[in-house]
Amino acid sequence: MRMNTRNAPTHRWPTLVAAAVILTLIAFLSSPPTYGQANQFPPGKMTFQGFLTDASSPPVPLGNTTPENKSVIFKIYKSANGTASTDVAWAETQVVTVDKGHFSVLLGEGSAVSGFPHDTDLSGVFIGSDASDRWIGITVDSAEITPRIQFFAAPYAQLARTANTLASGAVLSGNVQIGTLSDPKVTLEFGAGKSGKDGAAGKIGYETFTAGALDIVGAGGNPRTIKLWDNVIIPGSATISGAATVGATTVNGSLTSSGSVAGLIFQNRDSSSVWQWYSTGGTARLWNGGDKITVSSAGVIGSAGLTVSGKNIIELGIGLAKESNAGKIGYQVFTDALDIVGAGTSGSGRKIRLWGDVVVGGKPTWGKGPENGNLTVTGTAALGATTVTGVLVATSFKTFSDARIKSLVGLSDSRVDLETIQKLRVTDYRMVDEVAEGDAIKKGFIAQEVEAVIPEAVSWSRQFVPDIYSNPSSFHFDPRRRELSLTLAKPHGLKTGDRVRIIADESQLELSVTEVPSAAEFIVGNVEKAPKQVFVYGKQVPDFRALNYDRIFTTGIGAIQELARRVEELKKSEARIAELEQKTSRMAELEQKAARVDTLEREMAQLKKLVAGLAEAQAPKQVAGIQNISTVAVR
């Protein structure tokens, strides 16, 4: 429903045909009755009335004869037509009783709708820079009535925009604006009418007295005084002209003293302890009756050292053209490690250069568990002994192998090594992170497969994997809660408490998931500012596997030695076979000769029979001659 005038509201009855039902709505908004213990705030719930009819002509009110129960979804939108989940500021579902077309509900008493914000206190829905655009949508029988109805203020509620005085004890929630576009330099004054105060004392104004500054004028006549109690954080440079007494102060910038005291004096409120920074002979000293910290002209910090508490940082290169996080050193500021951010103008081009030997302490724990004491470099590195996830460039590789550092167990069984190597599969693959690793086909092993064959060749660590690796379809930053809500085009597989790596603009953030509204949505906390671009890399896993290729290589050497041994045995077998084949050949020749002798003997026997037959038929002389010839032939 939309009102045509703010002074005399009129109503339009929107209709929606869905499942043979026409829904007609007349809505009235008012403050609900107060529930629970009284306080200084207006009630957070709202009453809502409407009128529903069926699809007949003329339409008949629903529940005309007997009241009907309808499941209704109420949504408060940030725009008249937006359909994205981020366009919904609040939603809930209620079972509504319709009696002769009329129904009345109390918004804030229903149940949450999955994937949308919900609160029993609706006051937070109507604040923010876009609070003037709030529309209510009502869904009955799975279809939303169109058009949506815009919220408007009651006539006397307009006074809240221009009220120029506040009652004593009033509590404000949200932003408070002083001044107008036509007169932005008005002031907020404390102590007005107090005798003896300077005309400007107690005033706070934007560029009222000084161009480019928020002016805060102290109390009193001459001198005027500002006293800051407890912790005061100054993120930029602070210049104090004149003597100043300040409590505990954190200054992220330069603090300059130009008063009569040579140096900066810090003391407890009861003056029990006094510290002073001063300079002498080119050396800066922090003093309270004896030098505690000394910084020489050469930049040397003496005796007590330097301590940075919590997740604060040391930053180098302030003022240079650099990426915002470049040059920072902090304890678990960006990850769960001591973070040292290299120099550069972009997140992808930052560099850390280490001169001389780099020693990383700690005893590595191999097998299933984090590897302690390793230096891990993500990217291409030219270093000494190190663990690198990326490309390692070096002129040579050396490994400690002296017998005096080893306790020998025995020789490897080469037959087992060969059987082990035969179980491994060499695989062709591409890396998921093509931006960092490229899209070329690589050849190697899969750690999970190797773990089933050679478990001691695989180690576990806690790392981030690119299991999401996509841009969100939408994201929203909540500056009040410092949360970033992201919606993906596919299920993310995250749960509350998971750590996820996100690339926000040019910064790599590793954040905890605080809420998972749906399979495609999640929320992360502790986000410093609203990003312009976001890319979701993936979650942190405790069982990220790495291969000890040296273990596979040495097993392969054992397998090669077994193959070499078998080759030597094969050569000996072949020599024996050749010798036997030679003997077999000679025997075959003898057998052939024996066969020929047998043939000759058979032929001679036949010839003798023939000669004998001829001898009987001829004279004795002739027979003797033939017999002599026969004898010669046999010889």
Where does the pLDDT of residue 585 fall: very low under 50, low under 70, confident under 90, or very high at 90 and above? confident
Instruction: Give pLDDT, residue 432.
Output: 93
CA distance 185 to 178: 9
Percent of the chain with pLDDT over 90: 33
CA distance 175 to 152: 20
- Which is more confident, 488 or 142? 488
Instruction: Tell me the whole-structure pTM to 2 decimals.
Output: 0.42
- Which is more confident, 455 or 375? 455
**What CA–CA distances, in Å, run from 621 to 127, 553, 608?**
154, 96, 17
**Taking 70 as the threshold, does the pLDDT of residue 548 lie above it?**
yes
Query: What kind and span of H or E run contains 558?
Result: helix 549-617
**Taking 60 as the threshold, does the pLDDT of residue 258 lie above it?**
no
Where does the pLDDT of residue 377 fall: very low under 50, low under 70, confident under 90, or very high at 90 and above? low
CA distance 293 to 304: 6
For residue 116, the Cα-to-chain-centroid distance in whole angstroms is 23
Cβ neighbors of 290 (< 8 A, separation 6 or more) are: none
CA distance 625 to 631: 10
Widest Cα–Cα separation across the chain: 186
Q: In what order do the strands lie in the sheet with 187-189?
A: 187-189, 203-206, 214-216
Lowest-pLDDT range of 97-101, 152-156, 507-511, 545-549: 152-156
**Taking 50 as the threshold, does the pLDDT of residue 26 lie above it?**
no
Cβ neighbors of 630 (< 8 A, separation 6 or more) are: 607, 608, 611
Inter-residue contact 329 to 340 (CB < 8 Å) = yes
> What is 462-547's CATH topology?
Elongation Factor Tu (Ef-tu); domain 3 (2.40.30)
Where does the pLDDT of residue 416 fall: very low under 50, low under 70, confident under 90, or very high at 90 and above? very high
CA distance 500 to 513: 7
- Asked if the bond preceding 364 is cis, omega within 30° of 0, the reply is no
Per-chain mean pLDDT for the chain: 78
| CB count in 10 Å sphere of residue 445 | 19
Q: Span 519-541, mean pLDDT?
A: 94
Percent of the chain with pLDDT over 70: 69
Instruction: Give pLDDT, residue 544.
Output: 94
Task: Give residue-wise pLDDT tens across range 324-348.
Answer: 888 999 998 888 788 898 888 887 6
Residue 157 burial (10 A CB sphere; 0-12, 13-18, 19+): exposed
Inter-residue contact 143 to 16 (CB < 8 Å) = yes
Instruction: Give pLDDT, residue 104.
Output: 93
CA distance 491 to 468: 9
- Which is more confident, 366 or 174? 174
- Which is more confident, 300 or 102? 102
Residue 397 burial (10 A CB sphere; 0-12, 13-18, 19+): exposed
CA distance 335 to 458: 25
Token pair recorded at residue 78: 């940030």
Per-position DSSP letters for 579-593, written without gaps between them: HHHHHHHHHHHHHHH
Phi/psi of residue 551, nearest 5 degrees: -65, -40
**Taking 50 as the threshold, does the pLDDT of residue 634 lie above it?**
no
Q: Span 207-222, mean pLDDT?
A: 83
Task: Give residue-wise pLDDT tens across range 276-320.
Answer: 766 666 666 666 665 556 666 555 665 555 677 788 888 898 888
Task: Give residue-wise pLDDT tens across range 28-65.
Answer: 344 444 455 676 667 889 888 888 887 788 888 988 89
Inter-residue contact 412 to 420 (CB < 8 Å) = no
Residue 200 burial (10 A CB sphere; 0-12, 13-18, 19+): middle
Token pair recorded at residue 441: 């086909």
Inter-residue contact 252 to 235 (CB < 8 Å) = yes
Per-position DSSP letters for 614-626, written without gaps between them: HHHHS-HHHHHHH
Instruction: Give pLDDT, residue 159.
Output: 62
Instruction: Give pLDDT, residue 627.
Output: 52
| CB count in 10 Å sphere of residue 103 | 24
CA distance 144 to 25: 11
3-state secondary structure of 627: helix
**Taking 70 as the threshold, does the pLDDT of residue 385 lie above it?**
no
Instruction: Give pLDDT, residue 167.
Output: 57
Instruction: Give pLDDT, residue 286.
Output: 67
Where does the pLDDT of residue 110 fall: very low under 50, low under 70, confident under 90, or very high at 90 and above? very high
| Closest-CA residue to 126 (of 38, 35, 31, 49) | 31
CA distance 505 to 530: 10
Q: Span 563-590, mean pLDDT?
A: 90
**Taking 70 as the threshold, does the pLDDT of residue 243 lie above it?**
no
| Closest-CA residue to 2 (of 26, 38, 21) | 26
Cβ neighbors of 464 (< 8 A, separation 6 or more) are: 499, 500, 501, 510, 537, 538, 539, 540, 541
- Asked if the bond preceding 43 is cis, omega within 30° of 0, the reply is no
User: CA angle, 276 as apex, 227 and 312 as ends, to 5°?
Assistant: 75
Phi/psi of residue 431, nearest 5 degrees: -80, 145
Q: Span 531-543, mean pLDDT?
A: 94
Token pair recorded at residue 249: 């102060």
Q: What is residue 184's DSSP assignment? A: T
| Region of residue 514 (phi > 0: left; psi between -120 and 50: alpha; otherwise: beta) | alpha
**Taking 60 as the threshold, does the pLDDT of residue 449 lie above it?**
yes
